[in-house]
Structure 1
Protein backbone atom coordinates (compact mmCIF):
# COMPACT_ATOMS: atom_id res chain seq x y z
CA UNK A 1 0.00 0.00 0.00
CA UNK A 2 1.39 3.38 -0.94
CA UNK A 3 0.26 6.88 -0.11
CA UNK A 4 -0.55 7.49 -3.77
CA UNK A 5 -3.04 4.58 -3.92
CA UNK A 6 -6.69 5.51 -4.04
CA UNK A 7 -7.95 4.30 -0.69
CA UNK A 8 -11.46 4.36 0.72
CA UNK A 9 -11.51 3.42 4.37
CA UNK A 10 -13.85 3.48 7.33
CA UNK A 11 -12.36 3.63 10.82
CA UNK A 12 -14.72 2.25 13.46
CA UNK A 13 -14.54 1.75 17.19
CA UNK A 14 -16.20 2.90 20.37
CA UNK A 15 -15.92 6.50 21.60
CA UNK A 16 -12.47 7.06 23.10
CA UNK A 17 -10.77 4.26 21.15
CA UNK A 18 -8.43 6.77 19.50
CA UNK A 19 -10.16 6.99 16.12
CA UNK A 20 -9.61 10.73 15.70
CA UNK A 21 -5.91 10.58 16.51
CA UNK A 22 -5.30 7.54 14.33
CA UNK A 23 -7.54 8.80 11.51
CA UNK A 24 -5.52 11.97 11.00
CA UNK A 25 -2.19 10.09 11.09
CA UNK A 26 -3.39 7.33 8.77
CA UNK A 27 -5.06 9.74 6.34
CA UNK A 28 -1.84 11.76 6.12
CA UNK A 29 0.16 8.58 5.49
CA UNK A 30 -2.26 7.54 2.73
CA UNK A 31 -2.61 11.04 1.24
CA UNK A 32 -6.41 11.12 1.65
CA UNK A 33 -8.63 13.41 3.74
CA UNK A 34 -9.78 12.27 7.17
CA UNK A 35 -13.51 12.96 7.32
CA UNK A 36 -14.89 13.04 10.87
CA UNK A 37 -18.60 13.49 11.45
CA UNK A 38 -17.79 14.57 15.00
CA UNK A 39 -15.66 17.44 13.65
CA UNK A 40 -18.40 18.41 11.21
CA UNK A 41 -20.98 18.43 14.02
CA UNK A 42 -18.74 20.41 16.40
CA UNK A 43 -17.97 23.00 13.69
CA UNK A 44 -21.70 23.50 13.12
CA UNK A 45 -22.29 23.77 16.89
CA UNK A 46 -19.50 26.34 17.23
CA UNK A 47 -20.94 28.37 14.34
CA UNK A 48 -24.44 28.01 15.88
CA UNK A 49 -25.95 26.91 12.59
CA UNK A 50 -29.46 25.46 12.60
CA UNK A 51 -27.92 22.04 11.97
CA UNK A 52 -25.46 22.63 14.80
CA UNK A 53 -28.22 23.45 17.25
CA UNK A 54 -30.08 20.26 16.26
CA UNK A 55 -26.90 18.21 16.57
CA UNK A 56 -26.04 19.73 19.97
CA UNK A 57 -29.24 18.40 21.57
CA UNK A 58 -28.42 14.84 20.53
CA UNK A 59 -24.71 15.10 21.32
CA UNK A 60 -25.35 16.45 24.83
CA UNK A 61 -27.61 13.46 25.53
CA UNK A 62 -24.99 11.01 24.22
CA UNK A 63 -27.28 10.04 21.31
CA UNK A 64 -26.54 9.92 17.61
CA UNK A 65 -27.57 12.77 15.32
CA UNK A 66 -30.43 11.52 13.05
CA UNK A 67 -29.44 9.74 9.85
CA UNK A 68 -31.02 12.23 7.44
CA UNK A 69 -28.89 15.07 8.85
CA UNK A 70 -25.73 13.00 9.01
CA UNK A 71 -26.17 11.40 5.56
CA UNK A 72 -26.62 14.78 3.88
CA UNK A 73 -23.46 16.16 5.49
CA UNK A 74 -21.41 13.08 4.55
CA UNK A 75 -22.67 13.02 0.96
CA UNK A 76 -21.74 16.67 0.63
CA UNK A 77 -18.26 16.05 2.02
CA UNK A 78 -17.57 12.96 -0.14
CA UNK A 79 -18.48 15.01 -3.22
CA UNK A 80 -15.64 17.46 -2.50
CA UNK A 81 -12.68 17.39 -4.89
CA UNK A 82 -10.16 16.27 -2.27
CA UNK A 83 -12.15 13.06 -1.60
CA UNK A 84 -12.27 11.76 -5.20
CA UNK A 85 -8.97 9.84 -4.89
CA UNK A 86 -9.92 8.38 -1.53
CA UNK A 87 -10.95 9.19 2.02
CA UNK A 88 -10.93 7.92 5.55
CA UNK A 89 -14.31 8.12 7.28
CA UNK A 90 -14.23 8.43 11.08
CA UNK A 91 -17.59 8.22 12.85
CA UNK A 92 -19.65 7.17 9.84
CA UNK A 93 -21.47 4.89 9.20
CA UNK A 94 -22.89 4.24 12.65
CA UNK A 95 -26.15 2.44 11.81
CA UNK A 96 -27.17 -0.23 9.32
CA UNK A 97 -29.27 2.38 7.50
CA UNK A 98 -26.13 4.53 7.14
CA UNK A 99 -24.23 1.54 5.73
CA UNK A 100 -26.89 1.28 3.03
CA UNK A 101 -26.76 5.01 2.35
CA UNK A 102 -22.94 4.96 2.12
CA UNK A 103 -23.16 2.00 -0.27
CA UNK A 104 -25.56 4.04 -2.46
CA UNK A 105 -23.30 7.14 -2.36
CA UNK A 106 -20.23 5.12 -3.38
CA UNK A 107 -22.09 3.10 -6.02
CA UNK A 108 -23.32 6.36 -7.59
CA UNK A 109 -19.67 7.47 -7.77
CA UNK A 110 -18.59 4.12 -9.24
CA UNK A 111 -16.38 3.17 -6.28
CA UNK A 112 -16.50 0.99 -3.17
CA UNK A 113 -14.85 0.70 0.22
CA UNK A 114 -11.42 -0.95 0.32
CA UNK A 115 -11.30 -1.72 4.03
CA UNK A 116 -13.07 -1.15 7.34
CA UNK A 117 -10.80 -1.00 10.37
CA UNK A 118 -12.21 -1.58 13.84
CA UNK A 119 -10.17 -0.23 16.75
CA UNK A 120 -10.93 -2.33 19.81
CA UNK A 121 -10.53 -1.30 23.47
CA UNK A 122 -11.63 -2.20 27.00
CA UNK A 123 -14.74 -0.30 28.22
CA UNK A 124 -13.24 0.79 31.56
CA UNK A 125 -10.14 2.10 29.78
CA UNK A 126 -12.38 4.03 27.39
CA UNK A 127 -14.29 5.67 30.27
CA UNK A 128 -10.97 6.63 31.90
CA UNK A 129 -9.65 8.10 28.61
CA UNK A 130 -12.81 10.08 27.92
CA UNK A 131 -13.00 11.50 31.43
CA UNK A 132 -9.38 12.62 31.04
CA UNK A 133 -10.20 14.24 27.71
CA UNK A 134 -13.22 15.98 29.23
CA UNK A 135 -11.03 17.46 31.97
CA UNK A 136 -8.42 18.64 29.45
CA UNK A 137 -10.84 20.07 26.88
CA UNK A 138 -13.85 21.04 28.97
CA UNK A 139 -16.15 19.12 26.64
CA UNK A 140 -19.79 19.27 27.71
CA UNK A 141 -20.53 15.96 25.96
CA UNK A 142 -18.06 13.95 28.08
CA UNK A 143 -19.60 13.48 31.55
CA UNK A 144 -19.33 9.95 32.96
CA UNK A 145 -23.04 9.19 32.54
CA UNK A 146 -23.00 10.46 28.95
CA UNK A 147 -19.81 8.49 28.21
CA UNK A 148 -21.37 5.28 29.50
CA UNK A 149 -24.53 5.98 27.47
CA UNK A 150 -22.44 6.62 24.33
CA UNK A 151 -20.68 3.28 24.85
CA UNK A 152 -24.07 1.55 25.29
CA UNK A 153 -25.40 3.18 22.11
CA UNK A 154 -22.26 2.11 20.26
CA UNK A 155 -22.71 -1.46 21.48
CA UNK A 156 -26.43 -1.50 20.61
CA UNK A 157 -26.21 0.10 17.16
CA UNK A 158 -22.74 0.29 15.70
CA UNK A 159 -21.19 -2.98 16.79
CA UNK A 160 -23.64 -4.79 14.48
CA UNK A 161 -21.96 -3.04 11.52
CA UNK A 162 -18.76 -4.91 12.30
CA UNK A 163 -20.61 -8.12 11.37
CA UNK A 164 -21.85 -6.59 8.09
CA UNK A 165 -18.34 -5.60 6.99
CA UNK A 166 -16.82 -8.83 8.31
CA UNK A 167 -19.28 -10.79 6.12
CA UNK A 168 -18.10 -8.73 3.12
CA UNK A 169 -14.51 -9.72 3.89
CA UNK A 170 -13.24 -6.13 4.26
CA UNK A 171 -13.00 -5.89 8.09
CA UNK A 172 -9.68 -5.65 9.91
CA UNK A 173 -9.50 -5.50 13.74
CA UNK A 174 -6.70 -3.59 15.47
CA UNK A 175 -6.07 -3.29 19.22
CA UNK A 176 -6.57 0.40 20.06
CA UNK A 177 -4.82 0.26 23.46
CA UNK A 178 -1.23 1.38 23.90
CA UNK A 179 0.78 4.38 22.83
CA UNK A 180 -0.30 6.40 19.79
CA UNK A 181 2.80 5.19 17.92
CA UNK A 182 2.21 1.52 18.83
CA UNK A 183 -1.41 1.66 17.65
CA UNK A 184 -0.35 3.49 14.44
CA UNK A 185 2.24 0.78 13.73
CA UNK A 186 -0.38 -1.96 14.27
CA UNK A 187 -2.77 -0.11 11.90
CA UNK A 188 -0.17 0.13 9.14
CA UNK A 189 0.75 -3.54 9.64
CA UNK A 190 -2.90 -4.58 9.38
CA UNK A 191 -3.36 -2.61 6.16
CA UNK A 192 -0.24 -3.86 4.38
Structure 2
Protein backbone atom coordinates (compact mmCIF):
# COMPACT_ATOMS: atom_id res chain seq x y z
CA UNK A 1 0.00 0.00 0.00
CA UNK A 2 1.42 3.37 -1.04
CA UNK A 3 -0.46 6.21 0.62
CA UNK A 4 -0.35 9.96 1.14
CA UNK A 5 -2.01 11.54 4.15
CA UNK A 6 -2.94 15.19 3.72
CA UNK A 7 -4.76 17.60 5.98
CA UNK A 8 -4.50 20.96 7.69
CA UNK A 9 -2.41 21.59 10.80
CA UNK A 10 -4.17 20.09 13.81
CA UNK A 11 -6.20 17.54 11.82
CA UNK A 12 -4.36 14.62 13.43
CA UNK A 13 -2.23 13.50 10.48
CA UNK A 14 0.71 12.37 12.61
CA UNK A 15 -1.47 10.37 14.98
CA UNK A 16 -3.41 8.76 12.15
CA UNK A 17 -0.29 8.08 10.06
CA UNK A 18 1.15 5.87 12.78
CA UNK A 19 -2.10 3.94 13.23
CA UNK A 20 -2.82 3.44 9.52
CA UNK A 21 0.79 2.50 8.66
CA UNK A 22 0.76 -0.13 11.41
CA UNK A 23 -2.50 -1.58 10.11
CA UNK A 24 -1.00 -1.98 6.62
CA UNK A 25 2.45 -3.01 7.82
CA UNK A 26 4.24 -0.15 6.04
CA UNK A 27 6.47 2.62 7.39
CA UNK A 28 4.92 6.00 8.26
CA UNK A 29 7.22 8.63 6.77
CA UNK A 30 7.01 12.21 8.00
CA UNK A 31 9.10 14.91 6.34
CA UNK A 32 9.61 16.43 9.79
CA UNK A 33 11.08 13.13 11.00
CA UNK A 34 13.26 12.91 7.87
CA UNK A 35 14.57 16.43 8.48
CA UNK A 36 15.32 15.69 12.14
CA UNK A 37 17.06 12.39 11.33
CA UNK A 38 19.25 13.95 8.63
CA UNK A 39 20.15 16.90 10.87
CA UNK A 40 20.96 14.60 13.80
CA UNK A 41 23.11 12.34 11.60
CA UNK A 42 24.80 15.40 10.08
CA UNK A 43 24.26 14.10 6.55
CA UNK A 44 25.14 16.42 3.69
CA UNK A 45 21.43 17.08 3.13
CA UNK A 46 20.88 17.45 6.88
CA UNK A 47 23.56 20.14 7.18
CA UNK A 48 22.01 21.98 4.23
CA UNK A 49 18.46 21.68 5.65
CA UNK A 50 19.64 22.79 9.09
CA UNK A 51 21.07 25.99 7.63
CA UNK A 52 17.65 26.90 6.20
CA UNK A 53 15.67 25.83 9.28
CA UNK A 54 18.01 27.69 11.65
CA UNK A 55 17.44 30.86 9.64
CA UNK A 56 13.66 30.33 9.90
CA UNK A 57 13.34 29.63 6.18
CA UNK A 58 11.56 26.79 4.39
CA UNK A 59 13.79 23.97 3.22
CA UNK A 60 13.85 24.26 -0.59
CA UNK A 61 12.00 21.66 -2.67
CA UNK A 62 15.19 20.19 -4.10
CA UNK A 63 16.56 19.39 -0.63
CA UNK A 64 13.22 18.02 0.59
CA UNK A 65 12.80 15.96 -2.59
CA UNK A 66 16.30 14.49 -2.24
CA UNK A 67 15.66 13.50 1.38
CA UNK A 68 12.33 11.87 0.52
CA UNK A 69 13.90 10.04 -2.44
CA UNK A 70 16.65 8.69 -0.15
CA UNK A 71 14.07 7.54 2.40
CA UNK A 72 11.82 5.86 -0.18
CA UNK A 73 14.86 3.98 -1.52
CA UNK A 74 15.32 2.22 1.84
CA UNK A 75 14.43 -1.47 1.99
CA UNK A 76 11.46 -1.07 4.34
CA UNK A 77 9.62 0.96 1.67
CA UNK A 78 9.83 -1.73 -1.01
CA UNK A 79 6.31 -2.99 -0.31
CA UNK A 80 4.72 0.34 0.54
CA UNK A 81 4.75 3.45 2.69
CA UNK A 82 2.57 6.20 4.09
CA UNK A 83 3.80 9.75 3.47
CA UNK A 84 2.74 12.44 5.93
CA UNK A 85 3.61 16.07 5.11
CA UNK A 86 4.84 15.45 1.57
CA UNK A 87 4.18 16.57 -1.09
CA UNK A 88 3.22 20.14 -0.20
CA UNK A 89 3.78 21.92 -3.51
CA UNK A 90 2.98 21.14 -7.17
CA UNK A 91 6.74 20.79 -7.79
CA UNK A 92 6.95 18.16 -5.05
CA UNK A 93 3.98 16.29 -6.59
CA UNK A 94 5.84 16.17 -9.92
CA UNK A 95 9.01 14.94 -8.20
CA UNK A 96 7.14 12.27 -6.25
CA UNK A 97 5.51 11.14 -9.52
CA UNK A 98 8.99 10.81 -11.04
CA UNK A 99 10.31 8.87 -8.01
CA UNK A 100 7.40 6.43 -8.17
CA UNK A 101 7.72 6.05 -11.95
CA UNK A 102 11.42 5.16 -11.60
CA UNK A 103 10.35 2.40 -9.19
CA UNK A 104 7.53 1.26 -11.45
CA UNK A 105 4.84 1.86 -8.81
CA UNK A 106 1.91 4.23 -8.27
CA UNK A 107 0.06 5.72 -5.32
CA UNK A 108 -2.83 3.58 -4.15
CA UNK A 109 -4.65 6.39 -2.37
CA UNK A 110 -4.43 9.95 -1.07
CA UNK A 111 -6.40 10.51 2.13
CA UNK A 112 -7.46 14.09 2.84
CA UNK A 113 -8.41 14.67 6.48
CA UNK A 114 -10.94 17.48 6.61
CA UNK A 115 -11.88 19.50 9.67
CA UNK A 116 -13.62 22.73 10.57
CA UNK A 117 -11.07 25.56 10.78
CA UNK A 118 -12.47 26.93 14.05
CA UNK A 119 -12.09 23.49 15.64
CA UNK A 120 -8.53 23.28 14.33
CA UNK A 121 -7.70 26.69 15.82
CA UNK A 122 -9.10 25.50 19.15
CA UNK A 123 -7.09 22.25 19.00
CA UNK A 124 -3.86 24.00 18.06
CA UNK A 125 -4.23 26.64 20.77
CA UNK A 126 -4.81 23.87 23.32
CA UNK A 127 -1.77 21.95 22.04
CA UNK A 128 0.34 25.11 22.18
CA UNK A 129 -0.72 25.67 25.78
CA UNK A 130 -0.09 22.03 26.78
CA UNK A 131 3.31 21.91 25.06
CA UNK A 132 4.42 25.42 25.98
CA UNK A 133 4.60 26.65 22.39
CA UNK A 134 4.51 30.38 23.04
CA UNK A 135 4.97 31.17 19.34
CA UNK A 136 1.77 29.31 18.39
CA UNK A 137 -0.58 32.25 18.84
CA UNK A 138 -4.01 32.48 17.28
CA UNK A 139 -2.87 34.83 14.46
CA UNK A 140 0.05 32.51 13.65
CA UNK A 141 -2.21 29.44 13.65
CA UNK A 142 -4.77 31.16 11.42
CA UNK A 143 -1.99 32.16 9.01
CA UNK A 144 -0.71 28.56 8.89
CA UNK A 145 -4.23 27.39 8.05
CA UNK A 146 -4.50 30.02 5.28
CA UNK A 147 -1.16 28.97 3.80
CA UNK A 148 -2.19 25.32 3.98
CA UNK A 149 -5.48 26.05 2.19
CA UNK A 150 -3.75 28.03 -0.54
CA UNK A 151 -1.04 25.42 -1.12
CA UNK A 152 -3.06 22.25 -0.70
CA UNK A 153 -6.20 22.93 -2.71
CA UNK A 154 -4.39 22.51 -6.05
CA UNK A 155 -2.76 19.27 -4.82
CA UNK A 156 -6.04 17.80 -3.61
CA UNK A 157 -7.69 18.77 -6.90
CA UNK A 158 -4.88 17.10 -8.88
CA UNK A 159 -5.22 13.87 -6.93
CA UNK A 160 -9.01 14.03 -7.24
CA UNK A 161 -8.62 14.28 -11.03
CA UNK A 162 -6.44 11.15 -10.92
CA UNK A 163 -9.15 9.30 -9.02
CA UNK A 164 -7.01 8.52 -5.95
CA UNK A 165 -8.24 11.17 -3.47
CA UNK A 166 -10.61 10.22 -0.68
CA UNK A 167 -11.85 12.74 1.88
CA UNK A 168 -12.42 11.74 5.48
CA UNK A 169 -13.94 13.73 8.34
CA UNK A 170 -11.00 14.35 10.68
CA UNK A 171 -13.12 15.30 13.70
CA UNK A 172 -13.91 12.80 16.42
CA UNK A 173 -11.88 10.45 18.56
CA UNK A 174 -8.63 8.99 17.25
CA UNK A 175 -10.34 5.61 16.93
CA UNK A 176 -13.38 7.01 15.08
CA UNK A 177 -11.23 8.83 12.53
CA UNK A 178 -8.98 5.77 12.07
CA UNK A 179 -12.03 3.60 11.40
CA UNK A 180 -13.34 6.10 8.83
CA UNK A 181 -9.98 6.04 7.07
CA UNK A 182 -9.82 2.25 7.09
CA UNK A 183 -13.39 2.04 5.79
CA UNK A 184 -12.42 3.96 2.63
CA UNK A 185 -9.02 2.30 2.18
CA UNK A 186 -9.78 -1.31 2.96
CA UNK A 187 -13.44 -2.22 3.20
CA UNK A 188 -12.28 -5.78 3.96
CA UNK A 189 -10.31 -6.44 7.17
CA UNK A 190 -6.55 -6.11 6.77
CA UNK A 191 -4.39 -8.85 8.27
CA UNK A 192 -0.73 -7.97 8.71
CA UNK A 193 1.60 -10.94 9.15
Matched, 1:137 2:131: yes
8 Å contact from structure 1 (residues 11, 119) kept in 2: yes
Q: What is aligned with 2:53?
A: 55
Q: Shift of residue 128 of structure 1?
A: 1.2
Q: What is aligned with 1:105?
A: 99
SS at 2:81 equivalent: strand
Q: Could you tell me how far apart the structure 2 residues matched to 1:56 and 1:173 are?
A: 35
Runs (5+) with no aligned partner, structure 1: 1-6
Q: Could you tell me how far apart the structure 2 residues matched to 1:148 and 1:185 are?
A: 28
8 Å contact from structure 1 (residues 127, 147) kept in 2: yes
8 Å contact from structure 1 (residues 45, 56) kept in 2: no
Computing the radius of gyration over CA atoms, which structure comes out larger, 1 or 2?
2
Number of residue pairs matched by the alignment: 182
Q: Shift of residue 159 of structure 1?
A: 1.7
Q: What is aligned with 2:5?
A: 11
Q: Comparing 166-175 with 149-158, which one deviates more in the overlay?
A: 149-158
Q: Shift of residue 52 of structure 1?
A: 2.4
8 Å contact from structure 1 (residues 12, 19) kept in 2: yes
Q: Could you tell me how far apart the structure 1 residues matched to 2:138 and 2:19 are?
A: 28
CA distance 1:121–1:58, shift in 2 (3 Å): farther
Runs (5+) with no aligned partner, structure 2: 187-193
